[in-house]
A and B are shown apart, each in its own frame.
Chain A
Amino acid sequence: MELAPERAARKPEALASGVPQRLGDRVFSGVAKGAGIGILVVLAGVAIFLLIEAWPAITAPAERIPGGEGLVDYIAPLAFGTVLAAVLAAIIAVPFAVAIALFVSHYAPRRIAAGLGYVIDLLAAVPSVVYGLWGVSVLAPASRDINAWLADHVGFLPFFEGPASVTGRTMLVAGLVLAVMILPIITAIAREVFAQTPRAHEEAALALGATRWEMVRMAVLPFGRSAVISGSMLGLGRALGETMAVTIILSVSGIVTFNLISSSNPSTIAANIALDFPESSGIAINALIASGLVLFAITLAVNMAARAVINRREKKEGR
């Protein structure tokens, strides 16, 4: 009680000047501000570098671009392949990630949960080149029969039109491998947030006579939804930029197709740069950098879309 008047008297002053009172606060806010500005500077630097280096390709006549059809025709299939592989990976990975995260946070006995969480985290420590080798030497051969079956039975869907690849180095396998690669990050984020579901909301559901699964649907999933979205976007971003695994696995032919199981696939921007850069010179290098600029723009757009989705949800929920 004695302290109250003094505190009341001091508070408005601190608020009015807007300046933190303590040294620690000042240092921290300075460091935070510096880091924030630093990141912006780096980002702008990268964008400017890409633009300058891409400029000769953007202004060059169409026939000088590799392929001879101009820059847009050069990059469009690559951009398509990039997005297709990443979206495929996200579609495969997100349900698994959510299921694993739920299992770890709400179903598994504590010891199993800890072990499983650790194993999933380890997936993130595997180098991507190893994933590529695994994909091409294990998954691809194993997928041949499945591809043939898909072509025979659900071939009416454009995704499984066939003819089924005999090597198995298909977009489907690339997507699967990418899915395994982005699984840890999505799982980690979802698990973290699911475990933070307020006890009060879980108990509210259970006291209404909800089963555990109903409780998860009423309390846990709504609470974790925006985290799952942002985690998925992060995973998507990683899949968009992933290079080695796709370079090793995919047999490419530069076409635009939704067919996931044939031997002619669109390449991705990152894999294409990795494959072609060593043998390119002159304007071809500028064209590759221009494709890098497009990848940069796509990734940025994905992240901004994720932000927008989360912000809208939060506003709608009045949080």
Chain B
Amino acid sequence: MSQPSADVRDANATDAPLQAPLGDAATSAPAEAPANVAKSIEARDLDIYYGGFHAVAGVSMTIRPNKVTALIGSSGCGKSTFLRSLNRMHELVKGAYVDGKVELDGRDIYAAGTDPVAVRRQIGMVFQQPNPFPTMSIYDNVAAGLRLNRRKIKKPELDEVVERALRGAHLWTEVKDRLDKPGSGLSGGQQQRLCIARATAVEPDVLLMDEPCSALDPIATVAIESLIAELKERFTIVIVTHNMQQAARASDYTAFFNIERSGDPGRLVEIDETQTIFSTPASPATEAYISGRFG
């Protein structure tokens, strides 16, 4: 892979170091842990359906706090489906439902009476295609989630949070002079960083990313990867990727999903530390996939 480009290092150098987030995660941190302890996710016997179609079967895994967990596997094995079930975006598809448990720090997000809207405020998401709101300015895009969460937020405070989120996404220096311009006027890589700023501005506990770099060129990809390494100081990150080098570079844990025959549901084959998965995986299927021998 190429080295980080000059502009990426520039952005790193000129952006101020991250400040502590506003969220309540900071106050509940144990004494010796870093200031920002994010939350863990525990999936238990998760079965995911699209109407009559059983898309993912029997997934149990632990997603550790302040770590990057990569989900890999061939196309159609249910990575996106699993990811979207972690913040209850899955059920937006007509007829789609989930059976099993997903616990955010021990609390089942699928428990009866749990509001999916509240879940999504805690577990943010970045999509494959950058999707800033086209009618909103750059500033308003970043502020969008805050205006939902805390309606009566004051302008100076909002300015501060927007700046911090944009700095955190390594975008501040590029856009600080045109915050009132539409977000759709940015390049693809800038738009994706804007989307990351938008998702992180509300200080979620977990950040889900579905192939966030697949629409980007290698330089923008490296920029996002270095950003991910920083973001895990504050968030738990789950990232879907088709790029083996990216999984190896950017993640701490890797989960391999596979689908045995077409029509079968996708299953979790194994999850382990990324190093282990890429050096001595337990399953031959994992070995075959990461070394490029499919089937």
Produce 1/0 per residue, A198-219, CB < 8 A to B.
Answer: 1011011111111100100011
Q: Are A222 and B131 in contact (CB under 8 A)?
A: no
Known: A200-B131, A203-B92. A208 touches B120 (CB 8 A): yes
Q: Is B158 an interface residue (CB 8 A)?
A: no
Q: Is B127 an interface residue (CB 8 A)?
A: yes
Of B87, B145, B182, B202, the residue contacting A318 (CB under 8 A) is B182
**B6-14, B26-34, B36-44, B132-140 - the one binding chain A:** B132-140
**In the complex, are the beta carbons of B134 and A201 less than 8 A apart?**
yes
Chain B residues positioned under 8 Å from A319 (CB to CB): 134, 184
User: At the interface, yes or no: B148 with Cβ under 8 Å from chain A?
Assistant: yes
A225 lies within 8 A of chain B by Cβ: yes
Question: Cβ of A316: which chain B residues have Cβ within 8 Å of it?
Answer: 182
Nearest neighbor of B195 in chain A, beta-carbon distance? A204
Q: B135, A211: Cβ atoms under 8 Å?
A: no
Interface residues of A in 173-209 (CB under 8 A from B): 198, 200-201, 203-209
Task: Find out whether the CB atom of B135 lies under 8 angstroms from the CB atom of A208.
Answer: no
CA of A208 to CA of B39, assembled, Å: 17
A208 to B122, CA, bound (A): 9
Asked if B117 lies at the interface with its beta carbon under 8 angstroms from chain A, I say: yes
A209 and B135 form a contact (CB under 8 A): no
Q: Does A223 touch B at the CB level, under 8 Å?
A: yes
Question: What 0/1 pattern do residues 286 to 318 of A give for CB contact below 8 A with B?
Answer: 000000000000000000000000000000111
A267–B144 CA distance with the chains assembled, in angstroms: 48
- Choose among A206, A214, A225 the residue that contacts B135 (Cβ–Cβ < 8 A): A225
- What is the bound-complex CA distance between A47 and B159, given in angstroms? 55
Whether B89 contacts A207 by the Cβ 8 Å rule is yes
The complex places the Cα of A316 from the Cα of B185 at a distance, in Å, of 11
A5: min CB distance to chain B, Å: 25
- CA gap between A204 and B92 in the complex, in Å: 12
Give the residues in chain A near B89, CB-CB below 8 Å.
Answer: 203, 206-207
Partner of B202 from the list A200, A204, A208, A211 (CB cut-off 8 Å) is: A208
Which residues of B in the span 2-30 have a Cβ within 8 Å of any Cβ on A? Answer: none
A225 vs B127: C-alpha distance when bound (angstroms): 25
CB-CB under 8 A from B75, the residues of chain A are none
Closest chain A CB from B115 CB (angstroms): 9
* B127–A209 touching, CB < 8 Å: no
Q: Which residue of A lies closest to B120 (CB)?
A: A209
Distance, CA A205 to CA B136, complexed state (A): 12
Closest A residue to B181 by CB, please name it. Answer: A318
B167 within 8 A of A: no
Given the contacts A203-B89, A204-B127, A209 and B145 also touching, CB distance less than 8 Å: yes
Tell me the bound Cα distance from A283 to B287 in angstroms.
95
Instruction: Give every chain A residue within 8 A of B133 (Cβ-Cβ).
Output: 201, 204-205, 218-219, 222
List the B residue with the shortest CB-CB distance to A204.
B131
Residues B175-205 near A (CB distance < 8 A):
181-182, 184-185, 195, 198-199, 202
Mark A residues whose CB is within 8 Å of B: 198, 200-201, 203-211, 214, 218-219, 222-223, 225, 316-319
- 25 A-B Cβ contacts within 8 A? A198-B131, A201-B131, A203-B127, A203-B131, A204-B127, A204-B131, A205-B133, A205-B144, A206-B89, A207-B120, A207-B124, A208-B120, A208-B121, A209-B120, A209-B122, A209-B148, A209-B149, A210-B117, A210-B148, A214-B148, A218-B144, A316-B182, A317-B134, A318-B134, A318-B185
